[in-house]
Homo-oligomer: A and B are copies of this chain.
């Protein structure tokens, strides 16, 4: 009998659970709305009870505790999402299934999926940045998931303001950090409440958005020197952003670091919605 591997992409809106065979063919997959842990996790257990796996990769919304020496390793920590703060995600999984687990953030698993099977195939490093309800970033360095005392929170870098941007930003911690200026809700507030996909493609708003995202790319580049910077999330579906980001990146970097060709360097996620699940399954296989 083939061994099966498990994946959970735990998002703030929905959970995706999947099982694959040893060749990474996804055999089953379900979506579960993220309500309260009792409800959502009951469905998760129900799925994996029916589809037993030998190892599992979990990429979770955060902040989460990834520090193995911490007492709350495996927990979702300070999320405002009702019921999930201080939830012992990994502990509850282990109580149900005594198998090896990989445990990291939703964006780290997406970065890993893209590195192994997506736009960064054959490379040993990349960054994955989602620009959606929030801005979150994950990465791979020397082939390994980027973690230290905790996991990255790349959406909260401090930015130099665009001279024509008067929007104050909406990050509850920093006001005008990257997330506070560039996530979907910020884009929509700057536009006076217009939905992001209704803002004209040639509006100044996208130039401002691209300026900030390019500035973030400059900082990521000089700090991490990744082989690829990959954008996902709802806002990055605005394809007109990519040429604008590359142009602004070039201006802001001003030739200091010789990066890979920008068309290959700053790119849209190749695996789309499968990046995270793919990363989870790969990590599960490595743990097994």
Q: How would residues 117 to 157 of chain A score, 1 for a CB under 8 Å from any chain B CB and 0 otherwise?
A: 00000001100000000000100011011111111111111
Residues of A244-288 contacting chain B, CB below 8 A: 252-260
Do A157 and B223 contact each other (CB < 8 Å), given the known contacts A141-B141, A142-B142, A146-B141? yes
Asked if B225 and A150 make an inter-chain contact with CB atoms under 8 angstroms apart, the answer reads: yes
Asked if B157 and A160 make an inter-chain contact with CB atoms under 8 angstroms apart, the answer reads: no
Q: Indicate whether A227 reaches chain B with its CB closer than 8 angstroms.
A: yes
Asked if B148 and A125 make an inter-chain contact with CB atoms under 8 angstroms apart, the answer reads: yes
- Residues in chain B near residue A145, CB distance under 8 A: 142
A125 to chain B, nearest CB (A): 4
Asked if B160 and A159 make an inter-chain contact with CB atoms under 8 angstroms apart, the answer reads: yes
Closest to A145 in B: B142
Distance, CA A148 to CA B223, complexed state (A)? 10
Asked if A174 and B256 make an inter-chain contact with CB atoms under 8 angstroms apart, the answer reads: yes
A208 to chain B, nearest CB (A): 15
Interface magnitude class on chain A = 35 or more
Q: Indicate whether A161 reaches chain B with its CB closer than 8 angstroms.
A: yes
A184 to chain B, nearest CB (A): 20
Quick one: which of B125, B153, B255 contacts A173, CB cutoff 8 A? B255
Asked if B154 and A223 make an inter-chain contact with CB atoms under 8 angstroms apart, the answer reads: yes
Asked if A254 and B173 make an inter-chain contact with CB atoms under 8 angstroms apart, the answer reads: yes
Q: Indicate whether A57 reaches chain B with its CB closer than 8 angstroms.
A: no
Asked if B222 and A154 make an inter-chain contact with CB atoms under 8 angstroms apart, the answer reads: yes
Do A144 and B142 contact each other (CB < 8 Å), given the known contacts A152-B225, A153-B257, A173-B255? yes
Q: Indicate whether A20 reaches chain B with its CB closer than 8 angstroms.
A: no
Asked if B257 and A150 make an inter-chain contact with CB atoms under 8 angstroms apart, the answer reads: yes
- Residues in chain B near residue A16, CB distance under 8 A: none
Quick one: which of B149, B152, B220, B223 contacts A260, CB cutoff 8 A? B149
Kindly name the residue among A141, A145, A218, A226 whose own CB sees the greatest number of chain B CB atoms within 10 A. A141
Distance, CA A142 to CA B144, complexed state (A)? 8
- Residues in chain B near residue A150, CB distance under 8 A: 225, 257-258
Distance, CA A145 to CA B255, complexed state (A)? 25
A-B contact pairs, 6 of them (CB 8 A): A152-B225, A157-B222, A158-B219, A159-B160, A173-B256, A219-B223
Q: What is the interface of chain A, defined by CB distance below 8 A to chain B?
A: 63, 124-125, 137, 141-142, 144-161, 173-174, 215, 218-220, 222-227, 252-260
The 4 lowest CB-CB distance pairs between A and B, nearest first, are: A148-B225, A125-B148, A173-B256, A153-B222
**In the complex, given contacts A125-B148, A141-B141, A224-B224, what are 12 additional A-B residue pairs having Cβ atoms less than 8 angstroms apart?**
A141-B142, A144-B144, A146-B225, A149-B225, A150-B258, A153-B257, A155-B222, A156-B256, A157-B219, A160-B160, A173-B256, A174-B252
